[in-house]
Structure formats: structure tokens, C-alpha cells
Amino acid sequence: MNTPRTAIVAIAVPAHVSDQELANRLWRVLREACQPPDPPDPAFAFPDPASLEVTVYGCAAADLFNQEGSPSS
């Protein structure tokens, strides 16, 4: 069974691109990247493209984390 995981990615994006537009684009790119290879490879069993969720927070990575890498309070 797969264990849910969260990946945090910080990207510099032009100001005119909305958070929703960026989330939609990342979701499409990730779904494409998760397609199984052809011919199929049994070792490629993750992630399930249907499980992808993308949320964009319009802030810098430094605003999310302190120097130790843990969430800011």
C-alpha cells in the first residue's frame, strides 16, 4: 500500500501567472511524468497519477520554513 507523502517545491513564477494557473500546470506536468513507461516496467509502480493533489501558496519558501527546515510558527 502506498503511503501519502507531501513534496514542497519552490518555483519563481512571473507575477501575472495566478496560483491556480500554476497549480493546474504543475498537476498536468506531474500527471504526464507519472505515466508508466512503454514497455511497462513492473518496478515503476508509483506514484498513482490519480492520487496527485497540487496546492500553490503564493509565498517564498523562506516564509514557509525557518532556518532549521521545520515549519515556521
In a domain, 1, yes or no: no
Q: Which amino acid is at 67?
A: Q
User: pLDDT digit string (tens) for 4-59?
Assistant: 778 888 888 899 999 999 999 998 988 887 777 777 777 666 667 777 888 888 88
User: pLDDT digit string (tens) for 44-60?
Assistant: 666 677 778 888 888 87
Q: Which domain holds residue 47?
A: 19-64
C-alpha cell at 43: 518496478
In a domain, 45, yes or no: yes
Q: How many CA atoms lie within 13 A of 30 on its CB side?
A: 18
User: Helix, strand or coil for residue 71?
Assistant: strand
Which phi-psi region, left, alpha or beta, contains residue 47 (left: φ > 0; alpha: ψ -120 to 50)?
beta
* Phi, psi at 71, each rounded to 5°: -55, 140
In a domain, 13, yes or no: no
Angle ∠(23,58,22) on CA atoms, nearest 5 = 20
Domains in the chain, number? 1
